């Protein structure tokens, strides 16, 4: 069981690294386009900022179609979809990996988790 948890965390951290690299490439591409004055094309996303995506408000709650997320199985992507920063999502996963996150009330022990993010997780995750 511990080995499975370690593998999941390794997998999620690998995904995190890939996403961060992809974001950095998109940021560099965006900066290069701005430098040469290339206009944004909103229809196909070329030239659009990686931040120009519709974000759910942190306190919006889960969409009706989304299945209930559990504290033990929530992924990095799920945490990001809920509005957590890369750092906050990583910290939540690491605390869970250490076995220190078994109930939503334990979220208060996650260092660096903002009160807004904590409330969002408490509303959207089940034990």
Residue pair 126/69 in contact (Cβ under 8 Å)? The answer is yes
Rounded Cα distance between 38 and 52, Å, is 16
Average confidence (pLDDT) over 77-93: 93
E strand or H helix at 29: helix 2-36
111 vs 9: CA distance, rounded Å: 18
pTM for this model (two decimals): 0.50
For 5-58, write each residue's pLDDT tens digit: 889 888 998 888 888 878 777 766 666 555 545 444 444 444 444 443 434 444
Place 66 in a pLDDT band, splitting at 50, 70 and 90.
Answer: low
3-state secondary structure of 60: coil
pLDDT in tens, 88-100: 999 999 999 999 9
The DSSP string of 31-55 is HHHHHHTPPP-TTT-TT--TT-S--
Query: What gap in Å lies between CA 98 and CA 64, rounded to an integer?
Result: 31
């Amino acid at each position: 069981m511990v080995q499975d948890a370690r593998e999941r965390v390794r997998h999620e951290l690998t995904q995190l690294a890939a996403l961060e690299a992809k974001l950095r490439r998109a940021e560099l591409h965006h900066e290069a386009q701005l430098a040469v004055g290339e206009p944004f094309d909103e229809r196909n996303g070329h030239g659009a900022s990686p931040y120009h995506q519709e974000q759910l408000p942190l306190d919006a709650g889960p969409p009706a179609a989304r299945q209930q997320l559990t504290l033990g199985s929530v992924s990095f992507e799920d945490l990001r979809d809920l509005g957590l920063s890369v750092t906050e999502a990583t910290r939540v996963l690491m605390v869970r990996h250490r076995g220190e996150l078994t109930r939503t009330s334990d979220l208060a022990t996650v260092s660096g988790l903002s009160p807004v993010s904590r409330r969002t997780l408490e509303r959207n995750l089940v034990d």
